[in-house]
Structure 1
Amino acid sequence: MNLEEDFAQHRGGLLAHCYRMLGSLHDAEDAVQETYLRAWRGQGDFEERSSVKTWLYRIATNVCLNSLQHSSRRLVPSALGAPGHDPNELEPDGLELPWLEPFPDLLLNADPAAVVGNRQSLRLAMVAALQHLPPRQRAVLILREVLAWPATEVADLLDTTAAAVNSALQRARAELARLQPVEEDLSEPDEPVRRALLDDYATAFEKKDLAALEGLLTKDVRWEMPPIPTWFSGRADVLRLLDAKLPGAGRQLMVETSANGQPAFAKYFRGDDGLFHAHSIQVLTLAKAKVKAVLAFHQPALFPAFGLPLSKETT
């Protein structure tokens, strides 16, 4: 067994697995590193009764469960209370809260087909919903539904019975059905409609064209901005927020990227030095031919994970 080669091959998948469990890119990266260290120390005990891939995922799952003993849930602003209405009365940044983080698609380290295959289980709505499940129930659902492990194998990992695993899976499915939006409501437009929608959205933002944005957002659009706890629901309130907070035309730059199998934009603001500086990562949820939700992560420290610089020259 060449552990370094095997680990490199599976690193993207392990990172996605730990991210589903933990809801944090940084925590997932730490968990994958700990998985490698444990595998390295224990490779002499590997008896090849399972594949190296399965062995690594067993270690990673245990690492995540240990981590979740201390903090079991990542948050989005809408989980904290009702939406706000006044953009001039935003709550102070909740920097001490454990916020959900986006997952850059490029970290899957695979071909586009692999990104599509992971899309549903990595969607922000799915990962946010997973955070409501107890850790072991979360592990059961991911191992059974995403990785397609048999119940007996999951039971062996969790030191329980197959019947208990199946019971936990049923409870997890019921809770996710209650929390997740109806999938038909989230059907994305086909190309070239999708392409035109994203191009129009970026242009409208860069020009601060509120009339254009009004036509691109659904009536019930949701706008969240972690680590800001205040969030907004409904097109009128969201447009009021954007009118109050966006600078004028030419003061911001939208760079397209992708996260969680969804379209995303890195937003830069132009400073007094003439450079565009990292501001936030917007992950979009599309419904038919409009934008239904935006999770705008106001965390410039995320930009390097997306392969993006913290500042750009004026274009």
Structure 2
Amino acid sequence: MTDARPPGTDEAAFIEAARSGDPARFALITERHRRELRVHCYRMLANYEDAQDMTQETFLRAWNKRESFKGHATLRTWLYRIATNACLDFLEKRNDRTPVLSDLPVSELPYLQPYPDHMLPEDPQESVVSRETIELAFIVAVQHLPPRQRAVFILRDVLGWPASKAADSLELTVASVTSALQRARVTMREQLPDRRLDWRSPATHELSNDERGLVKSYIDAHERNDLDALTSLLRDDLRFAMLPDPGTVMTTAEDAVDGWVSGGLFQRGHDDWRCIATTVNLMPAAVLYLRTADDPEYRLFAIAVLHIVDGKIAELTGFDTADKPWLDLPPTL
């Protein structure tokens, strides 16, 4: 695999580190790519914990294959190739990760996890393209693609690799890559009909003032147990999912709140909330902590990820975080 370029400083330093057999020097050079490789694995797998594991597997494979790196490709390209194939090997072994059917909603992906924003790449150029390619809707849509199509789509349309470079990385012909990309684009258009499909052009990644204000109102309604205020924040065609429970619900605002109350929330013993505003997947979110009558502390209960349209919550994807050390969040408040 070549990038038709002479080795740069990074590549020369890596070759020297590889020849020295010094794992500390190796780690110093490769570690700077960890964050972007983890995002790449997350797009492939839709699961933050698996993405962490496959990123570590990438570095292990890179260490074991270090002598094969000759500097004909950039170090970044070489690591992406290893990461992509590590994810493909992972998917091949997991029967529970077969592509989802086109009519299955977000909650039929029980392995879906949110991605903490503070772990995203710090390079602004990486962040520019990240929001629309890391939002939950995009991540779920990618899961509809067979693994190799998924890899082709991400390498070509998200990372912007030329067909020859993607083909070399996946050990495919250029014709096979082109065909796989065409099929993948059709599926993505079906899954994201109202979204921008030119993933390589710049997109905003900052939350709007309206989004920040709505999260604040959502938190305030929770902490005051103000069900009328909470209802007013939801669209009447709300899509609600609580993972890992199956079944996305399309519901009215009133029915959604009534369902939460009938399930025990906002009732005595489950009405003492403290919440933190955050962002995951570059989307507005609220971390919910609940204190019960027999517990002196507020304990991590759920993460509510919000997709806001025209000043109201159009999609609410909840993640059950009870008794789980999620996203480096404090377990208690």
> What TM-score do the two structures reach when normalised by structure 2?
0.81
Shift of 1:114: 4.0
Q: C-alpha separation between the residues in 2 aligned to 1:111 and 1:290?
A: 31
1:194 paired residue number = 211
Change in 2 beyond 3 A, CA 1:13/1:131: same
Specify the structure having the higher radius of gyration (Cα).
2
| Structure showing greater relative contact order (alpha-carbon pairs closer than 8 Å, 6 or more residues apart) | 1
2:78 paired residue number = 55
Shift of 1:193: 2.3
2:279 pairs with one of 258, 267, 271:
258
Structure 1, residues 262-309: CA drift from partner, whole Å, max 9, x if none?
11111111032221011111111111211111110113465442x311
2:118 pairs with one of 106, 113, 116:
106
Shift of 1:162: 1.1
Work out whether 1:241 is the aligned partner of 2:259.
yes
1:90 paired residue number = none
2:167 pairs with one of 132, 155, 160:
155
CA contact (8 A) 1:75 1:99 kept: no
The sequence identity of aligned pairs, in percent, is: 38
CA contact (8 A) 1:73 1:98 kept: no
Work out whether 1:309 is the aligned partner of 2:318.
no
SS in 2 for 1:311: coil
CA contact (8 A) 1:188 1:288 kept: no
1:33 pairs with one of 56, 61, 70:
56
Q: C-alpha separation between the residues in 1 aligned to 2:193 and 2:272?
A: 35
2:5 paired residue number = none
Shift of 1:42: 1.2
CA contact (8 A) 2:62 2:82 kept: yes
Change in 2 beyond 3 A, CA 1:190/1:11: closer
SS in 2 for 1:19: helix
Q: C-alpha separation between the residues in 2 aligned to 1:214 and 1:125?
A: 23
Shift of 1:113: 6.5
Change in 2 beyond 3 A, CA 1:188/1:16: closer
2:248 paired residue number = 231
Work out whether 1:124 is the aligned partner of 2:136.
yes
SS in 1 for 2:93: coil
Note the aligned Cα RMSD (angstroms): 2.7
Shift of 1:234: 1.9
> What TM-score do the two structures reach when normalised by structure 1?
0.85
Aligned residues: 295
SS in 2 for 1:296: strand
1:89 paired residue number = none
Q: After superposing the two structures, state which structure 1 stretch, 233-242 or 270-279, moved more.
A: 233-242
Q: C-alpha separation between the residues in 2 aligned to 1:279 and 1:7?
A: 36
Structure 1, residues 144-171: CA drift from partner, whole Å, max 9, x if none?
0111111001111222211211111111
